[in-house]
Amino acid sequence: MLVLGIESSCDETAAAVVDDQRRILGEVVLSQLEEHRPFGGIVPEVAARSHLQHMDRLVAEAMKRAGIGFAQLDAVAATGGPGLIGGVIVGVMTGKALALASGKPFLAINHLEGHALTARLTHGIDFPYLLLLASGGHCQLLAVDGVGRYSRLGTTIDDAAGEAFDKVAKMAGLGYPGGPAVEQAAALGDPKRFSLPRPMKGKPGCDFSFSGLKNATRLLIESLPKPLSGQDAADVCAAFQLAVAESIADRTRRAIREFRRTRPDGRHLVVAGGVAANTALRQTLITLGAETGLEFLAPPLKLCTDNAAMIAWAGVERLRLGLVDDLTFAPRPRWPLDPSAKKVGFAGV
């Protein structure tokens, strides 16, 4: 079974061909980083135009690398949301057009489902497992019970973790994207020189919050002499990174307790999303997994961040169950994975 996947919900344009033996046969990702960098963040209009400009070429390239023609595909899958709507429309329209022209089924994939099922592509693990999804737009803990069966145990009530990294980097004058810059600076800093809050620590439930920490970091930076010295910036970044890692660990520990109680046969803690690149966070999660008896798994970084292999794989999983969509599917800027979960703050979709 061969599925073409298309991703365009944020700032990566991507296409990939994946088979049901968990092989990625052809894969391309084009990052728009350089186009957005002058603006210090993603500009939706710029993103949509760039997806439109490059999508055809990337699909052709992924097919070429896979060494197949459209007639050999079993389906075409595209991210149907959630995300920046202009980009999602480009991917969905491309996917529908290719499906229609080649007479193949079309699958609209929830981008978060792509992230959620990646560990089954990379490690072949069984359901159920616990997923921490921490990216620029999302911060959630999900129990993954099956294809289309997700229970959200926690989400952010304000900012996503990656967003907080990006904003702190901006405040500290470290540029965009923030996560890698903050991590690099933190490596030279003393995490104990400044003390920052551990948001939500000890609170009931498994929700996250990062806006209080972001504000505390802003006040700390404002209190320091300008221009910020390299050492001050490094110490602020180290303190901030430790606060994020400890806050995420506290929330995840609670989620693990809940997960183990309700799903005693679950064995894995999995991460996805760009923030999973953070070494300090990974280290904390490895320790946490060891303490709680869950094995910690992290897909290779390029499959943690936005990519089309995860969309193609989610397509394989859905196609195997006969869960295809039709060409009337409308792109969805918001699309919660667990519709029964209570509504929370802005990023808590």
CB 307, CB 279: distance < 8 Å: no
Ligand-binding annotation for 166, yes or no, is yes
Ligand-binding annotation for 111, yes or no, is yes
Residues 267-326 touching Mg ion, rule: CB under 5 A, are: 306
Cα–Cα distance list, 300 to 5, 60, 305 (Å): 18, 25, 9
Ligand-binding annotation for 179, yes or no, is yes
Q: Is 10 among the residues that bind ligand ATP (CB under 6 A)?
A: yes
CB 4, CB 56: distance < 8 Å: no
Using CA atoms, how far apart are residues 317 and 125, in angstroms rounded to an integer?
A: 13
User: Rounded to the nearest whole angstrom, what is the least distance from the CB of residue 198 to Mg ion in the complex?
Assistant: 27
At 48, give phi and psi (nearest 5°): -60, -45
Residue 110: which H helix or E strand, with range?
Answer: strand 106-110
Based on CB atoms, which residue is closest to Fe ion, 6 or 172? 6
Q: Is 189 among the residues that bind ligand ATP (CB under 6 A)?
A: no
Ligand-binding annotation for 136, yes or no, is yes
Q: Is 305 among the residues that bind ligand ATP (CB under 6 A)?
A: yes
User: Rounded to the nearest whole angstrom, what is the least distance from the CB of residue 150 to Fe ion in the complex?
Assistant: 15
Based on CB atoms, which residue is closest to ligand ATP, 83 or 299? 83
CB 15, CB 4: distance < 8 Å: yes
CB 239, CB 196: distance < 8 Å: yes
Instruction: Tell me the residue length of the chain.
Output: 349
Q: Is 274 among the residues that bind ligand ATP (CB under 6 A)?
A: yes
Cα angle 84, 87, 92 (rounded to 5 degrees) comes to: 115
User: Rounded to the nearest whole angstrom, what is the least distance from the CB of residue 230 to Fe ion in the complex?
Assistant: 32
Q: Is 10 among the residues that bind Mg ion (CB under 5 A)?
A: yes
Q: Which residues of this chain interact with ligand ATP, rule CB under 6 A?
A: 9-11, 83, 135-138, 162-163, 165-166, 177-180, 183, 273-275, 277-278, 305-306
Task: Indicate the annotated binding residues for Fe cation.
Answer: 111, 115, 306
